[in-house]
Amino acid sequence: MVTEIWFVIAGLAVLFVGLAAAFALVGGLTAERPSAAGRSLEAIEALTTAPRALHEQITPPFSDRVVQPIFNGFAGLGRRLTPENQRDGLRLRLDQAGNPVGWDVERIAAFKVLAGLLVALLMFVVPLLLGYSVALAVGLLAVGAVLGFFLPNLILKGLVDTRSQQIERDLPNALDLLTISVEAGLSFDAALAQVARNTEGPLAEEFTRVLQEMQIGMGRTAAIRAMGERSAVPDLQSFATAMVQADEFGIPIAEVLRVQAKEMRVKRRQRAEERAQKVPVKILFPLIFCVMPAIFVVILGPGIIIIRDSVLLN
């Protein structure tokens, strides 16, 4: 029986490798062809890099010769399996997550396919090793493929939620500093640069990006509106909307900032009160299942022992 199971596992491993190679080949064959402009840029890049490559005579590493083409094949297949609207959603999620280093839509699409294959194989092999039926293993195979395919989305959502919470926590203090800087005589752009330079975290990164977009020619209103559109924090969206309206209608920015800072402080106090009111509910279950049994053992334990001894003596 054990030998048969190992034969099944070996066959599944060969099947997995074959499927991975087939998926990579299909993804590479169905990948979108570069445009004429793209081919021209590739030709220019080849002309500029060819002499140096010929001079150095360096063999490409194993990752560039083997791993990268397979990964590109998975990326092509993942791009085919992900509709255009979902890719746009992934781009928005990446902006909301702060565009982590090494993350892009192509990599996420490739990881979706890889995670689907690996999790499906794992959930198929483990039940067979534990002695369950093949039908159950096949059912878990389908479930594992779906779970693995959406696993990168869940990881990205966790990054977005963590970054949004940090922005929500830092926003009141940043608005206070921004209001003080503007009331002290600085322009809004200089005050924004002052806040971005003297603070840390994702909110400072968002302010820095706004300044960079303004430096490359984008208008201040458009840059602030873009910050609100790519943000998942309602408070930051409200701040961006208020600043855009103030710029369009000619309202003094210092007055708008003062109102926004006051509103953010009120919301922060309300969130703190809300979390404080949730504490009794959250500690109810640990109190019932962890603290109360220990108290009962300490208080009632000696009495139970004494009653038992007296019953045995009688």
Tell how far CA 161 is from the center of its chain: 8
pLDDT band at 149 (very low <50, low <70, confident <90, very high): confident
Q: Count Cβ atoms below 10 Å from residue 90 Cβ, excluding itself.
A: 21
**Ramachandran area for residue 57 (φ above 0: left; ψ -120 to 50: alpha; else beta):** left
pLDDT band at 140 (very low <50, low <70, confident <90, very high): confident
Tell how far CA 168 is from the center of its chain: 17
Least confident of 66-80, 184-198, 291-305: 66-80
Distance CA 120, CA 133 (A): 16
Widest pairwise Cα distance in the chain: 103
Of the two residues 32 and 232, the one the predictor is more confident about is 232
The answer on pLDDT for 111 being more than 70 is yes
Of the two residues 62 and 70, the one the predictor is more confident about is 70
The answer on pLDDT for 5 being more than 60 is no
The answer on pLDDT for 236 being more than 80 is yes
Distance CA 108, CA 118 (A): 15
Q: Confirm if 74 and 113 have CB atoms less than 8 A apart.
A: yes
What angle in degrees, to the nearest 10, is found between the helix axes of 253-282 and 134-183?
140
Distance CA 259, CA 59 (A): 62
The full DSSP string for 242-262 is HHHHHHHHT--HHHHHHHHHH
For 301, how many CA atoms within 13 A lie in the half-sphere containing its CB?
A: 6
3-class SS of residue 152: helix
- 243-277 residue pLDDT tens: 898 888 888 888 888 988 888 889 889 888 988 88
- CB within 8 A of 138, min separation 6: which ones? 124
Q: What's the rounded mean pLDDT across residues 14-25?
A: 52
pLDDT value for 4: 54
- When the pLDDT of each residue in the chain is averaged and rounded to a whole number, the result is 78
pLDDT value for 211: 92
Percent of the chain with pLDDT over 70: 74
Q: Count Cβ atoms below 10 Å from residue 174 Cβ, excluding itself.
A: 24
- 180-198 residue pLDDT tens: 999 888 888 899 999 988 8
For 29, how many CA atoms within 13 A lie in the half-sphere containing its CB?
A: 6
3-class SS of residue 277: helix
Distance CA 36, CA 30 (A): 18
pLDDT value for 12: 56
pLDDT value for 18: 55
pLDDT value for 33: 45
3-class SS of residue 56: helix
CATH numbers and ranges of domains, the chain: 2-161 (no CATH), 164-278 (1.20.81)
Task: Please name the residue that has the structure tokens 């806040």.
Answer: 195
- 198-221 residue pLDDT tens: 888 899 999 999 999 998 888 888
Distance CA 273, CA 34 (A): 56
The answer on pLDDT for 38 being more than 60 is no
Distance CA 47, CA 52 (A): 10
